Amino acid sequence: MCLARASQCQALSGTCRAGVGSRSYRGRMTAADTIRRLHDHRVWTRSKILAAARTCADAELRRPFEMGTGSLFGTIVHLWGAELVWANVLEETDPATVIPSADTFPTVASLEEAWKPLDARWAKLLARADDPAFLAKPFGRVRDGKSYITNGHDIYLHVCTHQHYHAAQISNMLRQMGKSLGPNDLIVMAREQWRA
């Protein structure tokens, strides 16, 4: 129940208006609503990851770890690369895109710049989440010479859960360096937005 904002919430009757960025939901969320909510969380978590990375010296960013892709920076680049791969798959431009190595970007700032046009592409892709045919459509992905088929709905979800998996590794790496990513669960984001 949404007790903090009783005037805006009627949880017992099944309708609740909870702020989601600039969106509000009444009643049941659609598949597109859920997809966009998870992608809101992906971007919110990524901003926390990049803020933490900006506090690290280059040696810390590239310090070897036996998790993720082998370093903090490499794992963050991997997240960018995964977003690129799946954007290309959904746009049907290059199903065989390879995730780049950490050496592709010299700095966190250069990686952040590369994320800007990719974010614009994802905004357009997320606008297509309202189309049931697009969600159900099979998309081809080629990896290590093997072909895989996945529908649009599962690709949207995978991009988010993939980042969440690696965010846990990033949090662990930062902790071993005496730093913190801070809480990054979706519920933490939701509470921050609710307070705002």
* Residue ranges covered by each domain of the chain: 30-195
pLDDT at 146: 96
Alpha helices in 55-146 (DSSP H): 58-61, 72-91, 108-127, 132-136
CATH of 30-195, one of 1.20.120.450, 1.10.3210.10, 3.40.50.2300, 3.40.50.2030: 1.20.120.450
**Exposed/middle/buried for 121, CB within 10 Å: 0-12, 13-18, 19+?**
middle
Instruction: Give this prediction's pTM.
Output: 0.85
Instruction: In whole angstroms, give the CA distance from residue 19 to residue 157.
Output: 21
H or E stretch covering 49: helix 31-53
Beta bridge partners of 140: 149
What would the two tokens of residue 101 be?
A: 């190595």
pLDDT at 13: 30
Task: Of 95, 105, 189, give the one whose Cα is nearest residue 138.
Answer: 95
19-20 and 23-24: which strand pairing?
Answer: antiparallel
> pLDDT truncated to tens, each residue of the chain (196 aa)?
333 333 333 332 333 333 344 455 556 889 999 999 999 999 999 999 999 999 999 999 999 999 999 999 999 999 999 999 999 999 999 999 999 999 999 999 999 999 999 999 999 999 999 999 999 999 999 999 999 999 999 999 999 999 999 999 999 999 999 999 999 999 999 999 998 8
Q: Which residues contact 67 (CB under 8 A, 6 or more apart)?
A: 169, 172, 173
